[in-house]
Structure 1
């Protein structure tokens, strides 16, 4: 994950371009919305200033700060963000991450609360964004929210050949752009899609992307305020299973056989909370997001025990 100082635009551009072509919410009481930017500002009642206060930031022990991270798969990324926050506070600069998945964003925010004089702002381009970038710096250097997300409209004749989220994502990644440089992809039906991306790659994507699946497309940059989005459509239903294993719940949620689901897991096509699952017996809990390549996503809702000792599980399928 890259981080660069906003005080050096030329270096920022070069750093992102170099990394872009290399072979990665729960809200809380601090959540607030600024226009179409999703921001989580953290400021603290520690009012002393100067070197002694910065020392409070530096002395924090990583092991202690990371001990409370609930999603163990996110620890390495959170640790990197924590190191970035220390550099930002010491240098009194602002650093930016790539687009983060919701679990990493959530865990990072919890850890960053424990650092003195550090402010973090999450931006995904619009309030409902799942993938967001974090801007991190000493609270005194934040004068406004950094502009670190850009939007591109991809249009074409999709009337006779509708394209999925995966079609758009595959076409963009096929140009050599790393996944972490992309935010959400907002489908627009027959009109195409809106894509959130790091500003440094806007010109490259607009000049190279000419086809999605078999549909010829054109790309233009649009203001974030022009984004068209709506709450995702879902379908909720219940299933009764003997266990909370991912192979059991996912097969029920996506209405495919358990043996086929096991094969998908073996092929690396199943993810829980945006992390690839490698074991069929992975246990799920309320709030987990399960995604299967080519099938979509579902969320695990309320879980209750039946009189016979089985599990009654609410499954929320994203349409």
Structure 2
């Protein structure tokens, strides 16, 4: 009988090899790096990243942390500051391939502990499809992670269609992570851009996939929503009523609340009461573990909060869901 394996599907990483390519000027002048006392910062055409913390690129410290948390496998995603959606088209694909190659190389010595979600060059759907296919078939990516908006455009933008088709064909789930959040001009104090803006932008993104017909046109697409899906689980009643009352999106095949089964939701919600409500609304079978490592927004005691709130059977079910979503990772006996 197999031992339950716990997988974290929400974590960030930037490989030293990718940083080295940026230092070497491989993506200059569009991408450059400057070193400050607290760490490196990366400059793109329209702005400069936050300071990268050392833990972002350190797999040894990460492994120690995973052991402390009781996490067997972590599926890595790039740091959202490296999305590069403002890069010129002729450079973007090479830049994202570098991110993917860096992750694949870094984790190759520990395939029992790590997998990765690919980074892709949006808003160019054809290029994103090509980079995704390369990452999945050559490098072993289990899916992709993209932003909740692409330079402010909703995810029902028709330019993304080739990428959605490739994700379906490759059976590659898409994780959505907030970036460039809406109403940031009103969220500049109290860290509200993070505390409130991040979950709100995830809600907008999921709404655009529903109301824009993306889920109807691509029935095999699977999405992972971080931060518990933002406010989507608690907004679907209003979305469903409003659609009928105001005649919005009349061609949808289902009511908005009936599309919750197209999404998976991580457990980064911090509150047992919220986690319980989330499980009640979407079902335990739609939940996956997340840590948001290496950021300070990582919830404490990820596994134990789930077990104490929902029970050990639910925790085992959640572990099975995460494994099925990242099924390209070869199963090995869980690390203990």
Q: TM-score, normalised by structure 1?
A: 0.26
Relative to its length, the structure with more helix (as a share) is 2
Structure with larger RCO (C-alpha < 8 A, sep 6+) = 2
Q: TM-score, normalised by structure 2?
A: 0.25
Relative to its length, the structure with more strand (as a share) is 1
Greater Cα radius of gyration, structure 1 or 2:
1
